[in-house]
Amino acid sequence: MPEYGDSPSSKIYDGIFSIGEIIGGHESKPHSQPYMAVVTFINKDGKKHRCGAFLVQEDFLLTAAHCRGSSIIITLGAHNIKEPEKTQQKIRVLRAIPHPQFNNQSSKNDIMLLQLEKKAKLNGAVKVLDLPWNKGKVSPGMTCTVAGWESTLAEKYPNTLQEIDLTVRKECKYFKYYNRSTQICAGYPKKRKASFQGDSEGLLVCGKVAQGIVSYGNPDGRNPRVYTRISSFLSWIKKTMKSHEY
């Protein structure tokens, strides 16, 4: 497991930690974050794993590049991931496109596009989330929201979407590979509150705009955590989606 000052452990990227946990979070209002999706795939160990992603176009989602495998299926419109809700849409992934310069040791360029075999049907439970196209920058001190499934402090609803507010920090000196230009640091380093345990899940939303993707941190629940800064990859996202239009 990674320690402060160390690079992310490769074991995390191999999917040993599943969907992740939000410590100190609370259950989201059902479908209040309709862009969230569950990614189910087979990892190289031959076992089924889950990650999180979010819809940025009817046929494209964004997630972390370390969340990869085979036989990928996306579930949209979910609130309780253990229940066959009528709002859910399950769609196979046509292609997974990780950033070409992704490095799973340093977590550099930890971002990936997933193209669906068919377009998702947009409705009240399934919507696209805005990317930060000229939507302002994330600044230290801002309060943003992180969402994901399986909260350790919400045992009554262990399979429902959870969320919690985090504060964006100026620096992330706890990790030697942190790069402020392409990553965001958020959390409370002296508190256990508001942290993901696990690595492969979560989206940082600031002002109803997608700003970060959970990349890495300490799986023991300590803060802060590092998020891929989406605004640094807008050119790559736009170019890649355009090159793979149906």
Within a 10 A sphere around the Cβ of 144, how many other Cβ atoms? 20
| pLDDT value, residue 198 | 38
Contact criterion met (CB below 8 Å) for 209 and 222: no
Instruction: Compute the average pLDDT of residues 40-60.
Output: 88
| pLDDT value, residue 122 | 98
User: Which of 178, 200, 42 minimizes the C-alpha distance to 106?
Assistant: 178
pLDDT, mean over the chain? 80
Query: Minimum mean pLDDT among 37-51, 122-136, 198-212: which range?
Result: 198-212
User: 148 pLDDT exceeds 90?
Assistant: no
Query: Minimum mean pLDDT among 8-12, 68-72, 134-138, 157-161: which range?
Result: 8-12
| pLDDT value, residue 155 | 43
Instruction: Compute the average pLDDT of residues 56-74.
Output: 92
Instruction: Compute the average pLDDT of residues 75-96.
Output: 93
Sorted by where each starts, the structural domains of the chain and their CATH numbers stand as: 34-128+233-243 (2.40.10.10)
| pLDDT value, residue 179 | 92
DSSP at 103 = B
Residues recognised as catalytic: 66, 110, 200
Helix ranges restricted to H, 66-120: none
User: 1 pLDDT exceeds 60?
Assistant: no
Percent of the residues in the chain that have a pLDDT greater than 70, as a whole number: 77
User: 195 pLDDT exceeds 70?
Assistant: no
Could you report the per-residue pLDDT of 100-142, keeping only the tens digit for each?
A: 999 988 999 999 999 999 999 999 999 999 999 876 788 899 9
DSSP at 72 = E
Per DSSP, what are the bridge partners of residue 213? 203, 228
Query: Minimum mean pLDDT among 64-78, 118-132, 155-169: which range?
Result: 155-169
User: 6 pLDDT exceeds 80?
Assistant: no
Confidence of residue 17 (pLDDT cuts 50, 70, 90): very low
